[in-house]
Every structure is written in C-alpha cells, then in structure tokens.
Structure 1
C-alpha cells in the first residue's frame, strides 16, 4: 500500500487521536466535517457510505470498534443536542455533494443506514444505550423528516392535498426559503434548503408549461401531463387573464418605464411615484382607495431622514421590501391589515399583481417576498384546510403568476378566431390559446 493510498485512512484516524485536553468540541467537529467533505468529493458513494457508517454507527458496537475510535467518539457525543447538530450537519454535507452529482439513490441509502439501526437491542454499557436513545430520537425528529424530503422529491409527483397530507405541504418550497435564511441552521443545511426550494419551483414551472401546451391539443394524451395546481380547468383561463397584457402596456414594460422615469429621483418624490405605479390599471374600487391611503400614510412616515436623498439600488430594495411587508406581514408572525383587506374582497389577483409589480422593478426583493409568504404559511397552517381555502386560493394564483413571469419560461396569447364585431367591448378569452416555451 502506497503512502498516497494510506492518506485517507491516516486522516480518518487523526480525527480521533487527540484527547479532550488537547481539542475542544468545536475543533473535533470541524475535523470531522472536513474529513467528510474530502471523502465525499474524492471517493465513491459506496466508500462514503461505509465511512459514514464507521463514524456514526459502528463505534457503539463494541465488537467492531477500534479502541482509539471509541475513546475519541465522546468528543462529538457530549450531549444529545450536540449529537443532533453534528449528525445533521454530517448528513447535509454528504447530501449537498451527492445532489449536485445526481447520486439520488445514495441519498436514500444514507438515510436508510440510520433508520435501519436496531435501537431496541440494549447492551450492558450505559453509554451505548444512551447513544441508541439519542439516535432513535433523531430518527423521529423534525430534522430527520426534513432530510427525508430530499428523497421524496425524486420519486413523488406533486399531488393534490389529501386527508393524510397537511395542505401546507404543497407549499414547501417557500418554507425551504425560510430555512435557507435561518442562521441557526448549519451552512450546509441552508444551502440544501435553497437548492431543494429552487428545484421544486422549477419542477412546478415545467409541469405547468407542459400541462398548458398539452391541454389545448386534442392530439395529446390527457394523462401524460397533469395539472400541477389545484385550480382545475380554471387555471387555463387564469393564465389567459394574466398574460393578456402584452406589448406596450405589459407589466414588464411599465416596470422599465417606471425605473427610467424615476432614476435619481429624491426619495420623497419617489414615494409618491411608486404608489402611482403600483395602482396604475387597478380599478378604483372603494377598498382599493382605502389601501392606497394606508400605503401612502405608511410610506410618508418611512425613513423621513432619507427624503432628500436620491433613489439608488440600495434604497430601492429597502423600499420594496417595506412595501412587501405592508402587503403581507409586517412582523413575520401574523398577516398585515392590508393583506387581510385585499384578500377579504375575494379577488387575490389584485394583491398578487401589486406584489409582481414590486418584483419587476427590484428582482432582489424576490427572496424577501418568498420569506414573507413562508411566514404567512406558518401562521395559517394551524387552521384546517376548510377554514383557510381563501388563503390556499391566493397561494395557488401566486404560484401560477410568478411561474408565468419566470425568467426561463415565456407565455404568449395567440388569437385563433376571427375578430369580434367592433361593438364587442369585452375580450373573449375563449378565442385565444396560450403558448408556453421553455427558454
């Protein structure tokens, strides 16, 4: 055996060669993490699984254990909380690397390695029995349930809510966004949540585009592409309503015009301009006037010390984030008054278009918006589905609207029937077909 071939084994052993008087817990953990990072990048998945099993499981089986390994294992098993944190981060280090290489089946095998351990077989060693209890508690924890979500996505299609699934599970991509910004989680867990959220949203966008393309073609199989929303056939008409504004008065063009017109505008004047932009083309119903006045009052009081400064990218982001708060949740715990007012009118599209307009002038506010959506889901998930159908309806339309305005999907409305008479004042959406294209 060459010196190079011995290197991984030697570094494996080095993790455990220092005693508690030489290394503190944090250093021992970092050495463990660094070792996992190296082997997951250089070794085969089978070898990584074997090393993981040695590090996490085998040392509690006295007949399989190396003396140094057993002695130094106590470094990262000093208490149950540290154990939970350590084993979770180890899993995320491996999962992040395997996910990028599409080694999906090994992610399942990794979690199965933990789940299949025989917790119920007790020994005469109290420390070993304690470890088994900790490992069993981890398998039954929310942390392990989050890890399992990485295996579910590879073989389970998006499904409509059922009696065995909480309605909020359909909107996990937003809850994952919240996890990705949670500084109490490890960097590996934050990164994994970010990746999974993006993949779930991309999957929804693709399935929606394919469903729209196939549902309007008589030659296509009715079962090949299923509707990823729960809105039924109404989703097709909804998409037509959303994409009907194209050309000069499209939301994108209005956003670009607004940004050009307000370039270098003083903040005080910009506050007035953005209000006009948000409510442009929205019908002046009584409740809308109330919302306009409340936003005007809130913006006029926001950061008055900046009123004489010119708008820039940083201030634009801060104003847009603040507007998102006004329209969703201001404290991250309960819905804002404006959110309730707008949705209580029964037409969530008004609120959603306002949120869309904000993102079109400041794409960097998108993550803040999705975080606020996650906060709203956390608030409403305490209620049964039949008590918050209006909120679920909002989420469905929100998903579809932002899927339509995604950067990598293009939707167009094409007229298929002859022109209507001149006196026909209302657009006949049935005369049009929607065409989607993945860029």
Structure 2
C-alpha cells in the first residue's frame, strides 16, 4: 500500500488505464470519506473522516472495488549509490554541455578569405591565422568535402598542431586516422608532432602505433623515417611515467629496446638520449648499468657528460649507500666546473650522515648553502638525528641554534625540528640550555 501511495505521489496526477472512461474513475476524496483517519486528533470519532488537500488523485476501479487503506504521503529519497551506467550518462551529458560551440561568424569570415579554387597552401595559411581550434577543425572538414581538393602534409600538420595545443586529443586522433589512411603523405616533422601530442595526452599506445607506421617497410624510401628527435620524444615519454621503481623497471625494458633499435638503425645518440638511459637505469635501481653507459660516453658515443649526468649518478649511488663513489663523482663534477644540484647535495649529505661521517656531512651542508642550493627538511632532520644519536643532545641543540643564526631555517622549521627532538629524547631536550 505504501508503494502505491508513493507511485501516486510520483505522478501527481492520475493512476489510470488509457481506455478507462470517466465514469469508471473514482475520486480519492469520495473514496476515503468512508474511512476514519487514525492520526487525526479526532480519530476516535468514527464520524470524523480524513479530508485531502489540493491534490486530487484518481484511481482506476476496473480491476478492484475493494477498499484500500492509504498511508500518508511522504517523500523518500534513495540512499543507494547511482549505478555506473547512470554516472557515465551524466558525465557524457556534462561533457557535451561544457563543449564549446562553433563560432559561425568566425567560420564564415575564414571561408571568405579563401579563393574559389584554393590550394592546400592557401588553406594552410588561413588555418594558421585562426585562434579558435573549432574553426580550424571545421575548415579542415569543409575542405575535405570540396571537389578537386586533396589535403597535403601542410594542412594535416597545421590542423594537428592547433588541436593538440588545445588539448582536443579525440578530434586530433580522428585527423591522424585520416592521415595514416593516405599513403605517402607525411613528413618527419609531422609525425614527430603527432607522437609528441600523443605522449602529452598519455596515449603511449597511439604514439607507438605512429612510430611503427614511420618504420613500416613500405616507407623505406620515404622522407619520414624515425630520427633522433623521434626517439628522444619516446624516451622522455616512457621515462616520465613516475618515480615508482617498479613502473620504471617495467618501462626500462622498452627503453632498452628502443635504444638498441636506434643504434641498429645507424642513428647516433646524443647526450639527451644517453642521460635518459642513465636516469632510467638509476630509477629502476640498475646503477651498475648506468655507470656502464657513463664510462662509454666518450669512448663509444663521443659525448661528454653534463651536470644532469653527474646528478643522476650521485643520487643513485647515495640512494644505494655507495657514498664513496658518490663523493668521487661529486669531486669530478666540481673539477669540470659543474655545480651539483640540490638533489645531489641532499642525497650526499644524508648518505654521509647515515654512514656516521657527521663532520663531512655538515661540511657538505655548509657548502651547499654557500652554493645557493636549497636544503630540504629531511636532510636537516637526518643530520640532526645522527648528531644526537652518535654524539650528545647538546651538540644537536648547538647545531640547531647555528641553523637559526645563519637564517637557514625559519621559525616554523625550527619549531618542527625542536618537536622532533622532544619526541625522540623526551625531557632531555628541555633540560639542555641553549647558550
């Protein structure tokens, strides 16, 4: 009965059959006059009846003439989570509603700039001067429907650049499919642009598909074979998957295959490619392989290491506790005129402190502050903890006071470091007086 009442409240008008006549409809007010309202203050009076307000509900009495006891009409909202299909439909509606619309005036103005029989270069010039990517896309589609007109590499290139810069990757994907369907059209710069925007959209599968199209045997004599820039774009994309060691370990195999394929194709790697391999090996915890490539830079690849090369290796060696090797590379790096980055200094200082070389860690700490390299909170805490653990709390407090005097930590960081000491050593810190 309650569900029937709720359905009546839902439709707010009538509950009827299409072929029901008016004489077969019974007003709910006249129907319920026979039954007293138990919730009414005069409910005990058998002659007092319930009276309904402005809502008149009609009931089809063709099927049953039995009296029905009505429950009060309440509005109940469902607490059940919406289904996945419902959420998907809502998301599609919101995306469709938020999509920008085509500026017809701007589109007609762009069309007026084209001659009656325009060439692909003239269309490319018009699309280049458009700021609205939807107008560019509409121009491309409109030109495709014109007789005796065929898109060439320039029109594909400018349209893909406009859509990729506007993050309209789905529309760009449609244009790329049209490009791949036309044989012998394209250039190395065009496909490099496509691969770059696919990697920006994290569509690595599509980027690899375009890369394979460039290496296809039917394109051996074409001008869009993969170049060093193509490989570097893919290297950067696979290396930028995150700082998770397991993920980098998985993608490192792909990087290794790409690097081997590049060398086999006769493409000489540059320092960017080699640094990518070194960083990939370090992130995947294969530091020995990174050192192997480092020692092959000048011998095999005729490249000289730069600051990024040393920074990656110093961080990787210190992360594995090979502090002496990290110090040697740091000394070699400084002898060549490079200044270690904050990441290298922080790794080296923390590794020295954890290894018990407190004085040397503090010396490197002062050195990195002189070189205008920022020290993170973890490095300060590591050095402070090791000073207190291997020495005395007084030495730790003096070190903390020295940091404050040199204005290396602000008030918030100072109090945070002091709270760390209080948590570790309890009342011993409060009993130590700071001179």
What is the TM-score normalised by the length of structure 2?
Answer: 0.30
For CA contacts below 8 A with separation 6 or more, give which structure has more relative contact order. 1
What is the TM-score normalised by the length of structure 1?
Answer: 0.30
Structure with the greater alpha carbon radius of gyration:
2
